[in-house]
Structure formats: structure tokens, C-alpha cells
Amino acid sequence: MPTDQTPAADPAARPPIPTSVRVAVIAMGVLAALMLVNAGLTWYAFDTFVDALVEGNDDVDRGQAETALRQNILVYGLLGLLIALSAWFLPRRQPWARWVGLATSAALALLTIFSTLLAGGVTVFSLLIAVLSIAAVTSLMARTTRDYVPRLGARS
């Protein structure tokens, strides 16, 4: 009586998920949630944010404030979506998920650091984003994550 004993047919034959991959997935999941909530709340209260920007800055007119907020919604929404996809597909050993997660987390870390320097102060939100981004980048670059996820372009 023949049985199929290939590794694909036996779920127990799959390698366990390394801690570095779990840390990356959790960090990217929280980052994605924060980015998407930020974009959603900014879109929901768009007029309130525009009014606050115009009233708080003498150099900013309504058109500039609307443009800045639309860019904010677009950037944070897109980054949140890409990071969420990476977090979802990384445990499924998709090589593109590692690279997209690495690129978007690094971009978000740099964006947060530069915007904090330009603003002249650290907020709890910016500190949380920076720490989670750095955690995601270091976890995605870890040797155990590289060993767990096949190389990009490798055939399975």
C-alpha cells in the first residue's frame, strides 16, 4: 500500500518558524496596523486636520495643507498595505515578502527619523514606529530568516 511521504504532503516535515521570523511578522503586523489606522483617521478627519494646519501655520494656505495631507494618506496607506502583505506572506516562505518587508520597513524607519529631525522633537508615535521598524529590519536581515525563506528566484 503506497503512501505519499513527500515533505509537501507531511505538515510535520516543514521546518519550524524561527524566532526572527516571528519577531518580524509581529513587528510588521503592528506597523501595518498603525500605518493603516493613521491613514484612515487622517482621511476620516481630513477637514479638521486641514483647518488645524492652516490655523497653526501662517505660511501654509488651505491648498498646501490639503496636498500635504493627501500625500500623508497615500504614503502611510501604501506603506501599511505593503508591510501587511509582507507580514502575511513571510511565514509562508515567500521570498518577495522578505524583500518587500525589508524595503518598506527601512523606508519607514528613515522617513520617521527624518521627519522627527525636521519637526525638532520626538513623539511617542514616532518613537514606536522607529523601534518597530528597526526591529523588523534586523529580524528580516537575520541569518535564521535568510535560511528559512528561500532565495528570491530560487525554484522549489
Instruction: Select the more confidently predicted residue: 3 or 24.
Output: 24
Average pLDDT, the chain: 88
Q: Cα separation of 1 and 73, whole Å?
A: 60
Angle between helix axes 19-44 and 62-89 (nearest 10 degrees) is 150
Q: Reply yes or no on whether the pLDDT at 156 is more than 70.
A: no
Q: Reply yes or no on whether the pLDDT at 118 is more than 50.
A: yes
pTM for the whole structure = 0.82
Domain range list for the chain? 18-148
Q: Reply yes or no on whether the pLDDT at 57 is more than 90.
A: no
- b/e burial code for range 19-32 (CB count within 10 A of at least 16 → b): ebbebbbebbbbbb
Phi first, then psi, for residue 74 (nearest 5°) are: -65, -50
